Amino acid sequence: MTGVFFRRMAACLLALLLFPVAPAEAQSPSGWKIQRLNGRDYLPVSQVATFYRMKVLPRGDRGVTLMSETGRMDFSKGSREARIDGVKHWLSFPVFYFAGQFYVSRMDLSKTLDPLMRPQKIPGLKPVHTVVLDPGHGAHDRGAVNRLGSEKNYNLDLSRRIRTYLQKAGVRVVITRSRDEFIPLEQRPARANKLGDGTVFVSVHFNAAGTTTSLATGFEVFTLTPRGAPSSDEPYATRRSFAAARGHRADYASLALGTSIYHAMLGRVPMFDRGAKRARFAVLRHSDVPAVLIEGGFMTNPNDSRKLHNVEWRERLAESVAMGILEYIGITKTGVRPKLLAQYRAEEQARIAGTEFDYQPLAGIGRMVRGRWTFAPGWRGSLVAPLGEEMPAFRLEYEPPGIVQLETWAAAGEDARASAHEGAPPTETLLEWPEPVAPWPGLRGWRTLLPPPGSGEGFILFAPPMGAPLDSPGGGVDNGAPA
């Protein structure tokens, strides 16, 4: 008995030496220090800087900047807005400041930061041979309208111009509509899906606000919201956030494509940067291939509308979008990282200096404000409402009453528009605000919707040199496929 006792004690001591008890701040197998904050995995920004070989430049407790010779990331406390290489990006979750350190969510590291910093390491990239351009709207669906024209016509004109530049570069281009016709939403990405690997989908739109004299201005680009996260305009993660979509299979590649286009647009056409955002638009959800939706300025902004009505301006924008697509194609074929905003602006500085375009801190509104309100010490003092799009306080612990029903009706409305016949009245119009629905019995929070550990649905970084990949306890890649 004594021998057995000592052998067991020796085995226990050996186990403690080889497998020490993890501290409160968990150490992942790959060396990442994972901190559980607000019910979600977060990672210290300082370790993110080490991973990408960047210097940490703190801005007190307001934010932090990471810099290297080839990149820059700016984060602000409590904000979902980050600037990466000079371009605004909307994160899935806000940056935390805890115990004197800044933290970024594990999902944002995997789904946003890594594809941007190392797009050449995105797994499964196929050399692009075909670009599917999708001019939004058509026929009875005019899109946004102003006194100069309809969005459907601008979308088609811009898509044709983009096609010309791509074809000159030797790229095959397919356009979903070449005339004024209506195509259901689900049929648009279906054309790209049929072409399979080596195809990308780009939907072309112009934006609109609530009034015809709105101050809302600038460019936007959208890619599909990662599974388990809210979209850029949503303050809540709801049941719909956890639903799998076909487009999730191309999460990383879609972000790289959208960012490549966005850098070219902002770098060559002076316009306010509204950000690279996430949304669950039907054309993005139903796409099996990398897919993005671009918004080329506001039909409802007097300044924007005059620009986009100008043929030379649209030609310039089309050339820029085509250049961004070609830069992404370069990633898939040669692994070379695409050009960034600063590189485009350095190349265009001499040309822009001799044109009508005038770069301001916020190009697109700076000159307008300066000319109309000379007494204001700055452009902010002249605005009726702030242009900053800072998200409200982020809450994940519950859903407000009625949000599930609103989500259901919104999705049904989008599908109804996709299947509507020409001239048919819209079916998604709500005559009154819906009554709150009874909460699901037994469902107290969103966490109950998460897959259990070991289910195989997690997140992964692309072969990081620090050791094993950063993944969930179950391992594997979250490609949106149902469990």
**Does the pLDDT value for residue 378 go beyond 70?**
no
On whether both 75 and 220 belong to a single domain, the answer is no
On whether both 169 and 56 belong to a single domain, the answer is no
On whether both 290 and 199 belong to a single domain, the answer is yes
Domain-terminating residue out of 359, 378, 410: 359
Total domains in the chain come to: 2
On whether both 252 and 315 belong to a single domain, the answer is yes
Residue 389 lies in a domain: no
On whether both 217 and 95 belong to a single domain, the answer is no
DSSP conformation letters of 81-137:
EEEETTEEEE-SSPPEEETTEEEEEHHHIIIIIHHHH-GGG-TT-----EEEEEE--
3-state secondary structure of 220: strand
Residue ranges in 250-386 assigned as alpha helix (H): 251-268, 282-285, 302-309, 311-334, 341-353, 366-372
Residue 77 lies in a domain: yes
On whether both 51 and 144 belong to a single domain, the answer is no
Poorest-pLDDT segment among 53-62, 132-141, 257-266, 357-366: 357-366
On whether both 30 and 165 belong to a single domain, the answer is no
Residue 186 lies in a domain: yes
Counting beta carbons within 10 angstroms of the beta carbon of residue 120, is it exposed (0 to 12), middle (13 to 18) or buried (19 or more)? middle
Mean pLDDT, the chain, rounded, equals 77
Domain harbouring 135, CATH code: 3.40.630.40
3-state secondary structure of 250: helix
The tens digit of pLDDT for each residue in 404-460 reads 455 555 555 555 554 544 444 433 333 333 333 444 444 445 454 444 444 334 444
Q: How confident is the model at residue 236 (pLDDT cuts 50, 70, 90)?
A: confident
86 closest CA partner among 265, 340, 317: 340
Domain-terminating residue out of 310, 328, 359: 359
On whether both 321 and 183 belong to a single domain, the answer is yes
Residue 210 lies in a domain: yes
User: What's the pLDDT score for residue 152?
Assistant: 95
The tens digit of pLDDT for each residue in 1-15 reads 555 555 565 555 544
Q: Which helix (H) or strand (E) holds 152?
A: helix 151-168
Residue 441 lies in a domain: no
On whether both 186 and 254 belong to a single domain, the answer is yes
Residue 346 lies in a domain: yes
132 closest CA partner among 44, 194, 72: 194
User: What's the pLDDT score for residue 410?
Assistant: 56
Q: Could you tell me how far CA 264 lies from the centroid of its own chain? A: 16
User: What's the pLDDT score for residue 369?
Assistant: 38
On whether both 38 and 153 belong to a single domain, the answer is no
3-state secondary structure of 63: strand
On whether both 300 and 172 belong to a single domain, the answer is yes
Residues 6+ apart with CB under 8 A from 188: 134, 176, 201, 203, 283
**Does the pLDDT value for residue 75 go beyond 70?**
yes
Domain harbouring 58, CATH code: 3.30.457.10
Q: Can you give the residue range of the structural domain that contains 258? A: 130-359
**Does the pLDDT value for residue 395 go beyond 80?**
no
On whether both 185 and 331 belong to a single domain, the answer is yes
The tens digit of pLDDT for each residue in 250-308 reads 999 999 999 999 999 999 998 999 999 999 999 999 999 999 999 999 999 989 999 99
pTM metric for this prediction: 0.73
Domain-terminating residue out of 359, 381, 408: 359
Residue 236 lies in a domain: yes
Residue 419 lies in a domain: no
